[in-house]
Amino acid sequence: MSGALARVSLTRVPSLTWYVPAMHLRYRFRAYPTAPQRISLARLFGCVRVVYNDAVAARKSARAAGLPYPTTAMLDRRLITEAKQTPEREWLTEVSTVPLQQALRDCHAAYRAFFDSRRGRRRGPNVGPPRFRRRSHRQTARFTRNGFSLRPNGRVYLAKVGELAVRWSRELPAVPSSATVERTATGNFFVSFVVVVEPGAELLDPLPVPEADTGIDLGLHEFAVLRGGKVIENPRFFKRMERRLAKAQRMLSRKTAGSANREKARLNVARIHEKAGYRRSDWIHKHVKTIVAENQGIFVEDLHVGALSRGLHAKSFREAAFGIFLRRLEVKAVRAGRSFRRVDRYFPSTRLCSACAAVTGPRGLGELKVCNWICECGAVHDRDANAELNLRREGRRLENECRMVAAGHAET
């Protein structure tokens, strides 16, 4: 299993348009460590976890005593440099210092996100304080350029671990700035690289520039409705495996804690979750690529995914993964030079008649099952197709407005 993810730093400018100052792309590849390397990686994951937990404990102790929080430099000296000289933590010398320092930086970033969230400086839902990491489930360790290198033989060298065999599925577009080794809950190993691509660099294969654009109306019965009534069915990967998962979880609950049979049952449950996630991710990538290749303008509703995942039909919304779909669609659209626009979530795309612009369509939870409706002007509408058309028109209007404003700023 391999793939590439991207995190695009989008910045708002006065012209109401978006520009991309830099792209941070993450490429993930399957790794196959040897038996001695697995032992070294297990030791590395344990040391990273201990240093992170020590940092969280130190800051909690400082807060309980009414003292200022220790800085990252202070924790680096106390929890790594000085700790290596004590009998209780001398085994920290067996691993590279680079991932230990990155663990402290991760702890600092987690506390900064928590405080920014409390003070209203961070967008999105509220973030809780950092918690202690567990030794089960997913384990990671991050290396900067001082701790890893790419060898000519196609292997990845990690400090105090050795050369890892990697299944390369594609070439890296630039020299990576960091490498993260990961062990999943099923025991598989991956190595992911972050590369920074400068603005204007060719990131994707040249795609033909279509003249068409589309709105995208998302839903649960049909995953999406596009231009011309094209429907993308909801695959419901998790629901297909739900009975199998329930059986595996029942078997897990009957095993004795700490036994080898319980570990086998736990791996069986983890594999089912992992398989459903891989299928969903692959399905999303394929449909996003098709949408970007076929449309120059892509207009979607700015859904409040967090609220949908907590309200009515929360399980179905989480399974559909609208947030992942919209993020990947935006990233790939920007990389391909397409126009991507989010329409305000309060825009009445479903209730607005596309013929006379009257707001007479179905409303509220009681009319969610209404698939077709007739406007007072006599127009007959399919609920999702009408919403897609309204989103497309509103997206065009917003795009033209931004271009006019940008042209005015350029003239001044």
Encoded tokens for 19: 């520009």
Spot the catalytic one: 217, 319, 330, 394. Answer: 217
Q: Is residue 116 part of a domain?
A: yes
Residue 3, domain member (yes or no)? no
Confidence of residue 35 (pLDDT cuts 50, 70, 90): very high
Between 7 and 281, where is the model more confident?
281
Catalytic residue among 54, 106, 384, 394: 384
Spatial separation of the C-alpha atoms in residues 389 and 326, rounded to whole Å: 18
Residues 92 and 169 in one domain: yes
For this structure, is 401 an active site residue? no
Note if 301 is an active site residue. Answer: yes
Tell whether 81 and 227 lie within a shared domain: no
Residues 55 and 104 in one domain: yes
- Give the residue with greater pLDDT, 313 vs 158: 158
Does residue 174 share a domain with residue 281? no
**Is 395 part of a structural domain of the chain?**
yes
Distance CA 388, CA 212 (A): 14
Residue 97, both tokens: 């210092």
Report d(CA 115, CA 220) in Å as an integer: 36
Is pLDDT above 60 for 202?
Answer: no
Number of domains in the chain: 2
Looking at 128, 163, 182, which one is the last position of a domain? 182
Confidence of residue 409 (pLDDT cuts 50, 70, 90): low
- Band the pLDDT of 12: cuts 50, 70, 90: very low
Residues 316 and 373 in one domain: yes
211 counts as catalytic: no
In a domain, 324, yes or no: yes
Residues 217 and 106 in one domain: no
CB atoms within 10 A of CB 368: 16
Mean of pLDDT values over 320-339: 90
Beta strands 297-301; 339-343: pairing state: parallel
What would the mean pLDDT of 164-171 be, rounded to a whole number? 94
pLDDT at residue 411 in the model? 66
Whether 168 and 221 map to the same domain: the answer is: no
Marked catalytic residue, from 106, 301, 319, 330:
301
Domain enclosing residue 262, as ranges: 213-411
Furthest CA-CA distance within the chain: 83
Q: pLDDT value at position 168?
A: 96
Q: Which of 181-185, 208-212, 393-397 has the highest mean pLDDT?
A: 181-185
Structural domain includes residue 274: yes
| 406 in any annotated domain | yes
